[in-house]
Amino acid sequence: MQIHLTAAAPSDVRLHARVVNQGQALSGLDATLVEGAAVSKFSGRAGQTFEGFATVDGAVKRIAIAGLGEADAADRRANCERAGAALTAKYLVSGETAMVLDLGGAGLSADDAAAVLLALRLRAWRHDTYRTRLAADKRPSLTTVHVTGAPEGTAAAWEREAALAKGVEFTRNLVTEPANIIYPATFVAACEKAFEGTGVEITVLGEDEMAKIGMGALVGVGQGSERESKLLAIRWNGGAAGDKPTVFVGKGVTFDTGGISLKPGPGMEDMKWDMGGAGAVAGAMLVLASRKAKANVIGVMGLVENMPDGKAQRPGDIVTTMSGQTVEVLNTDAEGRLVLCDALHWAQGQYDAARIVDLATLTGAMIISLGNEYGGMFANDDMLAAQLTAAGQTSGDKLWRMPLGANYDKLIDSPVADMKNIGPREGGSITAAQFLQRFIKDGTPWAHLDIAGMVWSNKPGHTWDKGATGYGVRLLDQFVRDVVEG
């Protein structure tokens, strides 16, 4: 969707929309529209819409109104997003190709206005590449929005939010593509293309290189696949030369069959999005590079495909990680932690990180715990946990902190190796986090985000349709804005 800020509305656009606060008088509208809104009990609550028709300058116009909620609401930004998203949801497949959106008269700040536009664009994202027989009335038609009445400063605010939208859309594309299209090598290629001209530094390791430096855990996960595993690092140096980088690490299992510990068939097609953590890291890095963030940030992604080939690792195998610690693989479907442990160790050796945050669709147990409302957070540092929680509240990518502790840690001790890759059924998300913590160097602030219930949705949300949500991109960008850029 193209969004243009303009002083005057094009005369040939039929659909005109405005946003209003709850309880605000509908001034400047045809009396019939005002009465119709009252009869329809339109009050302007957040996300509420009303539509009518009026003759303007001799032409019939389609008039839409979206509610912003109460002007002094604590969640004003979220309400602004609901208003923008509601307009897109209503008119995306309406047959209208353009909309004039009036942002004047509601007392919006520049950031509020940018929030309306961000949600307007995010809700418009669709992935119809392979739908060759989609009915005409189901195809997106709305492609252009002309924005009038924007408050001063909106252009700069929208430039920043447009970069955010670009990153979220990139992540959604990666997560949505099927595994025969996005696998480790093509994930890397997609990133190389997306980051052209941004000034980032890209490092790629293949299987032979990873094997030579001892990444037995990561390489072991992918050894049953014909697709070569990769390690991808994207470095953005936008901060001061002496500042330590913030490092984001993502799990990128581009398809997860479970390996020899094969998953049940029903629902296995969803495992194309088991690379949602890596997808979020890639999208966040694209945001930071696109908006020229004043921060030093590195995104590291471990990319593998977990398949049950004759060469695949077996339950009971013991692998040696890059750290030198050994792991008894009791279940090959607990593979994400094996990918992350080597990626985390490599990142700490390669970069002198100020802090590390990893993201992974790691455990089904997290969905049992938190459903699809929060990502689970585990952290060894209270300040980092508080900063991430705050970033989640602001961005809408919410987090809930979960516990770590010695009593959980001993549940993954192995009688034949340093540790096993699964614990008991109870506390499955916690023991997975305890596993990862064993690969974090003392003194390094670290947080693990288990986002298994968040990267894909079976129902529409405020800023997404069914499918990939892009969860994590907004969270990481907000964290960088708040903590790293200050």
Closest CA to 335 of 231, 402, 253: 253
The arrangement of strands across the sheet holding 318-320 comes to 318-320, 326-328, 419-420
DSSP per residue over 436-456, as a string?
HHTTSPTT--EEEEE-TTTSE
Q: How far apart are CA 330 and CA 318, in angstroms?
A: 9
DSSP per residue over 338-386, as a string?
HHHHHHHHHHHHHS--SEEEEEE---HHHHHHHTTT-EEEEES-HHHHH
Q: Residue 58's pLDDT is what?
A: 85
Give pLDDT tens digits for 211-221.
999 999 999 99
Give 326's pLDDT tier (boundaries 50, 70, 90).
very high
- The question of whether 337 is a catalytic residue gets the answer yes
Q: What is the mean pLDDT of residues 337-345?
A: 98
Name the CATH code of domain 2-149 (choices 3.60.15.10, 3.40.190.10, 3.40.50.2300, 3.40.220.10). Answer: 3.40.220.10
Q: Residue 28's pLDDT is what?
A: 87
Q: What is the mean pLDDT of residues 338-362?
A: 98
Is pLDDT at 70 greater than 90 in this prediction? yes
Give 270's pLDDT tier (boundaries 50, 70, 90).
very high
Q: Residue 208's pLDDT is what?
A: 98
Q: How far apart are CA 87 and CA 99, in angstroms?
A: 10
Provide the mean pLDDT of the chain.
Answer: 97
Closest CA to 376 of 309, 442, 452: 452
CATH class for the region spanning 162-484:
alpha beta
Q: Residue 57's pLDDT is what?
A: 82
Q: How far apart are CA 99 and CA 88, in angstroms?
A: 10
Q: Residue 435's pLDDT is what?
A: 98
Is pLDDT at 486 greater than 90 in this prediction? no
Considering the candidates 61, 126, 263, 294, report the single residue annotated as catalytic: 263
Give pLDDT tens digits for 135-165.
999 999 999 999 999 999 999 999 999 999 9
Domains of the chain: which residue ranges? 2-149, 162-484
Q: How far apart are CA 450 and CA 432, in angstroms?
A: 9
Give pLDDT tens digits for 93-152.
999 999 999 999 999 999 999 999 999 999 999 999 999 999 999 999 999 999 999 999
Considering the candidates 337, 355, 398, 474, report the single residue annotated as catalytic: 337
5: which strand partners?
147
Give pLDDT tens digits for 77-91.
999 999 999 999 999
Is pLDDT at 56 greater than 90 in this prediction? no
Q: Residue 48's pLDDT is what?
A: 98
- The question of whether 263 is a catalytic residue gets the answer yes
